[in-house]
Structure 1
Amino acid sequence: MMLRRDGARSALRPLRLLTGVLAAITALVTLSGCSLLGDRSDASGPTRNGLEKSRVVVGVLPVIDLAPLHLAKKEGYFDAEGLDVELQVTPSGPEALNKMIGGDLDIAFSSYPAFIAAQAKKVAEVRIVAESYAAKENTMMLMAGRDSPIHNPREVSGRRVAVTSTGSISDLSVKSAVKTLGGKPETIQFVPMAFPQMEAALDRGDVDAALLVEPFITKASKNIGARPVLDAASGPTAELPLAGYGATAEFVAKNPKTVAAFQRALLRAQREAEQDRTKVEALLPEYAGIDKETASLLKLGSFPSSLEPTRLQRVPDLLNAFGVIDQRINVKDMIVPLPH
Structure 2
Amino acid sequence: MSVRLAAGLLAALLGLAAASVPPLAMAAPFRLIVTDHEPPLVPNSVMELALTEGYFAREGVDVELVRVQQTPSAIAAMAAGEGEMANIGLDAMLQLHARGATDLKAVMSPNKSLPFLIAGSDEIDGAADLSGRSFGVGRLGSLDHSLSLKVLEAAGVDTETLAIIPLGQPNVRAQALAAGRIEATTMSIGVWLTLPAHDGLEVLVDQEAYYRAAPVVNKVNVVSPDVLAERPDEVRAVIRALILASRDFAAEPQRWSAAMAELLPHVERTTLDDLAASFDGSWSVNGGLSRSELEFSADWVFQGPDFDGLDPVPLEHWVEFAPLDAVLSELGTDPSADAADR
Question: What's the counterpart of residue 214 of structure 2?
Answer: 237
Change (3 A) 1:322 1:157: farther
Question: What's the counterpart of residue 300 of structure 1?
Answer: 279
Deviation at 1:134, TM superposition (A): 3.3
Q: After superposition, what is the alpha-carbon deviation per residue over 1:257-290, rounded to whole angstroms, capped at 9, x for unaligned?
A: 3322222222111222233222221233444676
8 Å CA contact retained: 2:174, 2:192: no
Question: What's the counterpart of residue 5 of structure 1?
Answer: none
- Residue number among 248, 271, 274 corresponding to 2:250 in the alignment: 274
Question: What's the counterpart of residue 261 of structure 1?
Answer: 237
Question: In structure 1, what residue type is equivalent to 2:8?
Answer: A
Change (3 A) 1:224 1:329: farther
Question: What's the counterpart of residue 336 of structure 2?
Answer: none
Question: What's the counterpart of residue 4 of structure 1?
Answer: none
Question: What's the counterpart of residue 88 of structure 1?
Answer: 66
Question: Percent same amino acid at aligned positions?
Answer: 20
Question: What's the counterpart of residue 299 of structure 2?
Answer: 317
Secondary structure of the 1:129 match is: strand
Q: After superposition, what is the alpha-carbon deviation per residue over 1:115-134, rounded to whole angstroms, capped at 9, x for unaligned?
A: 22222222110111211213
> Please, what TM-score do these two structures have when normalized by structure 1?
0.79
Change (3 A) 1:31 1:329: closer
In the alignment, is residue 209 of structure 1 matched against residue 184 of structure 2? yes
Deviation at 1:56, TM superposition (A): 0.9
- Residue number among 27, 49, 63 corresponding to 2:12 in the alignment: 27
Question: What's the counterpart of residue 163 of structure 1?
Answer: 137
- Residue number among 251, 256, 263 corresponding to 2:227 in the alignment: 251
Secondary structure of the 1:43 match is: coil
8 Å CA contact retained: 2:12, 2:76: no
- 5+ residue gaps, structure 1: 1-15, 45-53
- CA–CA distance in structure 2, aligned partners of residues 282 and 203 of structure 1: 28
Q: What pairs with 1:1-340 in structure 2 (closer than 5 Å)? A: 23-31=8-16, 33-34=18-19, 40-44=23-27, 55-60=29-34, 61=36, 62=38, 63=40, 64-135=42-113, 139-147=115-123, 150-194=124-168, 195-220=170-195, 222-231=197-206, 233-238=210-215, 240-287=216-263, 291-293=267-269, 294-298=271-275, 299-300=278-279, 302-304=282-284, 305-306=286-287, 307-325=289-307, 326-337=310-321, 338=324, 339=326, 340=329
- CA–CA distance in structure 2, aligned partners of residues 235 and 75 of structure 1: 33
Secondary structure of the 1:59 match is: strand
Deviation at 1:192, TM superposition (A): 0.8
- CA–CA distance in structure 2, aligned partners of residues 74 and 318 of structure 1: 36
Question: What's the counterpart of residue 12 of structure 1?
Answer: none
Change (3 A) 1:253 1:290: farther
Note the aligned Cα RMSD (angstroms): 2.9
Change (3 A) 1:207 1:76: closer
- 5+ residue gaps, structure 2: 330-342
> Please, what TM-score do these two structures have when normalized by structure 2?
0.79
Question: In structure 2, what residue type is equivalent to 1:313?
Answer: E
8 Å CA contact retained: 2:26, 2:231: no
Change (3 A) 1:99 1:197: closer
8 Å CA contact retained: 1:78, 1:85: yes
Question: In structure 1, what residue type is equivalent to 2:173?
Answer: M
Secondary structure of the 1:321 match is: coil
8 Å CA contact retained: 2:121, 2:184: yes
- CA–CA distance in structure 2, aligned partners of residues 200 and 80 of structure 1: 39
Change (3 A) 1:266 1:198: closer
